[in-house]
Structure 1
Amino acid sequence: MSAEFNAAAEKVKNLKAKPTDQELLDIYALFKQASVGDNNTSRPGTFSLDLKGKAKWDAWEKLKGMSKSEAETQYVNKINQLVEQYGLN
Structure 2
Amino acid sequence: MATPFLPAGATTGDSGGELSSGDDSGDMESFQTPEAEATRSLAELFEKAAAHVQGLVQVASREQLLYLYARYKQVKVGNCNIPKPNFFDFEGKQKWEAWKALSDSSPSQAMQEYIAAVRKLDPGWNPQTLSSTRNISAWIMTRFLVSRQQASVELFTKWLWRNPTARV
TM range (shorter): 0.7 to 0.9
1:33-55 CA-partner distances (Å, limit 9, x unpaired): 11111101100123xx2100000
Shift of 1:16: 7.8
Answer 1 or 2: higher relative contact order, Cα 8 Å, separation at least 6.
Answer: 1
The two structures have a TM-score, normalised by structure 2, of: 0.46
CA drift of 1:22 comes to 0.4
Large movers: runs of 4+ above 2 Å: 15-18
The residue type paired with residue 65 of structure 1 is: D
In the alignment, structure 1 segments of 5+ residues that lack a partner are: none
Aligned with 2:122: secondary structure? helix
Q: Name the amino acid aligned to 1:43.
A: K
Match of 1:72 in 2: 111
**Which one has the largest radius of gyration?**
2
Q: Which of these residues, 85, 95, 100, is aligned with residue 61 of structure 1?
A: 100
The sequence identity of aligned pairs, in percent, is 34
Q: Distance in 2 between matches of 1:5 and 1:12?
A: 10
Unaligned runs of 5+ in 2: 1-39, 125-168
The within-5 A match list for 1:1-80 is 2-15=43-56, 17-46=58-87, 49-80=88-119
- Number of aligned positions between the proteins: 84
